[in-house]
Chains A and B, each alone.
Chain A
């Protein structure tokens, strides 16, 4: 159906030239889900743009993009209009941004149906309702009249899918459809695409940076690196025994909830100005030799009779993925350290029954972001905080940093109070500024956390200013921390927009470290980074978190990254701690239904997910839930009873961990029953 042959795209703009794609060849057949994976800058979105005839200005394209035997690159406007919508439809990464904000989603869907399918108004509306139902939208009739901003992220992506499938396209393209969605939703959304392929025989092209998460629903995967296809083949084989060193690097960079160590690959993807004459991965590849640097490998089948599994490499790897690398990987930092015993040393961070309510500026309402969180963290300890978006993770970070005051309860860092609160007095002036530098934050957005018009050197030295160090001392300290981050001195004179994401995050960590604080809070430090860069940064963080005299808080929506180096973990749900305990205990033996659901949704290598058969499936999207009284999970929990709805749940000890659910002892039996009668 779709066949891309030797597609090359060169983008020429005044002053720069980018070889976005070089000789890309692959096909999508009806009823097949093909995953297009690689890191940003690899050319994934450019492929999608070529397929829908939306190449950017200044593009010089060669090769062919054949769709039902006509070349999309050479279609006239009329043919393109018919091709888009009926032939190909696309789901964008940011569904709320891709939906028009001033028309109800129902109208937008009806518009499409009446334009492309020539349906009459009433019939189109009926069809729209059915489409909404098909993608799993509850009470579709009501949702038809909703505006984009009234929908949750997951709901908006479902609407997007219904828009895309509504015109019965032969090919459905999804550009990072689940990036930004929570783990419990990701699987559900991906299943919708599998469903579209299975029941309607559509071709689906699923674009993602995360091979492991989409592998489950893909028939075949195509791996892009620097605009070239390095490996393509059946998903199962590529995932289990990837033959190309880059595919292996991609997979090993992803942390796994099972605790498999991450192996970092040094370097970053090159930005090519012309089609490569050698292997583009040569500078980062452990197997590279002179041949790789001199010639570009051609795309060959991996082995005779290996189906359509092919790759472009002079040194195909044959061992299963788990076999190599484990010897070279550093041990998880948390595991090696002595288990810190809270109580013996003075606690660095103490949070006592803290509530945070964000008052709405108009009216009397407010958003209750944290509902009674109690935490204690000693030196050398690393605490992992996990939960989905909206659970209060970032509020917790801001609370610890003194950027938001608790509405009730207290927070102290190293015995000092950073905010106005009842009880401990807050220092003033210079003393407050010094107290602030004792706790440092590493931000989610590495480039945004650096002042755009100040040099990198200036940003790193910021905490030292407050400490009142002389310029000479500042220079020396900055140089030392730069060495630890393995950054070159020349970077000090640069500005944030000149940095890559990985460099910027190293700078962010350097700034956090330079004042030797007592506590560092990492707020989703790797979620904005590419997979192989993420692995590099995780290695840096693991090293930093292992410092004995310092405590760390690592906040993430991704359970697997937390497992790497946390000693203890807390699971947050709608502002409450629902489970807490040593990291291995919580991950291997989760107690709370929510923790079980989270772990069950997390992707694992090999295509299987979670602890099989024991996964809990939550019944609704997060934003449909209401946590006014009783257990916060009551609206979504499959094991809910009247007691759950009525009674506030407190943390109770179950073995080494604590969970806020009274039904924990009964759960294994209940889950077993659920598996039998779905």
Chain B
């Protein structure tokens, strides 16, 4: 990057004065996005290729070798049931990524629809929808997730619904705010006076334009969703043994870690960390880029 030079020589009139800066933000944002995307692609590839990369099956038990340390037949050792940590960690990536992405997708769809309708029509509809959103948002997210998960019971679909339910209100609010400010812009009046129906205005004009902040928040949200999922599983309300899931694995190994057998919980913990970090970097990068563009 060019340095700010204060020329002092007698020949100063001919030397160009260079003002530094101007592009730092966007370059930094690009690096964040690349870093996040790289981490996530590695994890995604590993998840897809799990059957090829794992020497043991997801729930395959090696009864002779329970709680053995890393090395030998078991790259990262086994847990108390004799299941291979490395293999389960790879398989768990499928479930964790899958549930988190599906839940966020569902949250985005539901939240966006609610936000669009509430923001565009206003009035009593807006009041009712937003009060419901208020109720959801007045509980700490994780407590709410616990309650919903306990209500719905276990199962992959139920987990997706639970995590979507706690995240959708934020999108509803975000999109509603966006729609309310977009609605005041001339292009919406232009659409109305051109004879567009309400559905047309919402679908063809407001929806595409209100998704910008959603695109920034959704990746960050995937990280949170993953943590919620792992937390629920850790507490026994999410994915249950023997299905492989990082939070459940950490929970299963928690007792053994105390006994010095770190390999039961630390590897899935690191995998979870990497994944959440990937989503955070990507989200931050997208946010910075959006801000840089706005300026």
Which chain A residues have a beta carbon within 8 Å of chain B's beta carbons?
5, 11, 13-14, 55-64, 71, 73-76, 398, 401-403, 433-434, 436-437, 439-441, 443-445, 448-454, 458-459, 462-463, 465-467, 508, 511, 515
User: Assuming A433-B197, A437-B194, what are 14 further A-B pairs, CB within 8 angstroms?
Assistant: A14-B26, A14-B27, A57-B20, A57-B23, A60-B18, A73-B17, A436-B194, A448-B186, A450-B190, A451-B191, A451-B208, A462-B191, A462-B194, A508-B190
Q: Is B190 in contact with A462, judged by CB distance below 8 angstroms? A: yes
Kindly provide the distance from the CB of B128 to the nearest chain A CB, expressed in whole angstroms: 18
Is B193's CB under 8 angstroms from A436's CB? yes
Contact check: which of B19, B26, B193 meets A403 at CB < 8 Å? B193
A60 near B191: Cβ-Cβ < 8 Å: no
Give complex CA distance A401, B18 in Å.
52
- A458 CB contacts on chain B under 8 angstroms: 204
Per the CB 8 Å criterion, the residue count for chain B at the interface is 34
Q: Which chain B residues numbered 185 to 203 have a C-beta less than 8 Å away from chain A?
A: 185-187, 189-197, 200
Asked whether, in the complex, the Cβ of A59 is within 8 Å of the Cβ of B19, the reply is yes
Stretch at the interface among B6-14, B89-97, B277-285: B6-14
Contact A436 B192 (CB under 8 A): yes
Tell me which residues across on chain A come within 8 A of B12, comparing CB atoms.
71, 74
User: Please, which residues of chain B bring their CB within 8 A of the CB of A11?
Assistant: 22
* A residues less than 8 Å from B180 (CB atoms): none
CA distance A463 to B26 in the complex (A): 39
Asked whether, in the complex, the Cβ of A74 is within 8 Å of the Cβ of B193, the reply is no
User: A76–B194 Cα gap in the complex (Å)?
Assistant: 57
How far is it, in angstroms, between the C-alpha of A443 and the C-alpha of B7 when the chains are bound?
A: 50
Interface string of B1-42 (1 = CB under 8 A from A): 000001110001111111111110011000000000000000
In the complex where A451-B209, A453-B209 touch, is A58 in contact with B23 (Cβ < 8 A)?
yes
Of the candidates B6, B200, B204, which one forms a contact with A76 in the assembled complex, judged by CB atoms under 8 Å apart? B6
- Which residues of chain B are within 8 angstroms of A450 by Cβ–Cβ distance? 187, 190
Query: A443, B27: Cβ atoms under 8 Å?
Result: no
The answer to whether A58 and B21 touch (CB under 8 A), given A74-B6, A441-B189, A451-B205, is yes
Quote the shortest CB–CB distance from B68 to chain A (angstroms). 54
Given A14-B23, A74-B12, A451-B205 in contact, is the A445-B186 Cβ separation under 8 Å? Answer: yes
Q: A402-B193, A441-B190, A451-B191 are in contact. Are A59 and B18 (CB under 8 A)?
A: yes
Determine whether the beta carbon of A452 is less than 8 Å from that of B7: no
Distance A465 CA – B204 CA, assembled complex (angstroms): 12
CA distance A50 to B195 in the complex (A): 49
Provided the pairs A59-B18, A454-B208 are in contact, do residues A466 and B186 lie with their beta carbons within 8 angstroms?
no
- Chain A residues within 8 Å of B20, by CB: 57-58
Closest to B21 in A: A57
Residues of A within 8 A of B26 (CB): 14
B200's closest neighbor in chain A, by CB?
A465
Contacts of A465 in B (CB 8 A): 194-196, 200
In the assembled complex, the CB of A404 is this many whole angstroms from the nearest CB of chain B, namely 10
Least Cβ–Cβ distance between B208 and chain A, in angstroms? 4
CA distance A58 to B191 in the complex (A): 40
Q: How far is the CA of A402 from the CA of B195 in the complex (A)?
A: 11
- B187 and A448 contact, CB distance less than 8 A: yes
A467 CA to B194 CA, complexed, in Å: 10
For A73, what are the chain B residues with a Cβ–Cβ distance below 8 Å? 17
Q: Given A13, A61, A403, A467, which contacts B189 in the complex, CB threshold below 8 Å? A: A403
- Which residue of A58, A63, A445, A467 contacts B22 across the interface (Cβ within 8 Å)? A58
Q: How far is the CB of B13 from chain A (nearest CB, A)?
A: 5
How far apart are B46's CB and chain A's nearest CB, in angstroms?
Answer: 34
Q: Is the CB of B17 within 8 A of A61?
A: yes
Query: Given A58-B21, A58-B23, are A454 and B193 also a contact pair (CB < 8 Å)?
Result: no
| Interface membership of chain B positions 207-222, coded 1 if the CB is closer than 8 angstroms to chain A and 0 otherwise | 0110000000000000
Q: Are A453 and B208 in contact (CB-based, < 8 A)? A: yes
Q: Are A449 and B190 in contact (CB under 8 A)?
A: yes
CB-CB nearest 7 A-B residue pairs: A466-B195, A57-B22, A57-B21, A58-B22, A433-B195, A453-B208, A462-B194
Q: How far is the CA of A466 from the CA of B195 in the complex (A)?
A: 5
Q: Which chain B residues border A5 with CB–CB below 8 Å?
A: 13
Tell me which of A55, A74, A462 contacts B7 (CB under 8 A): A74
Residue of A nearest to B211 (CB): A453
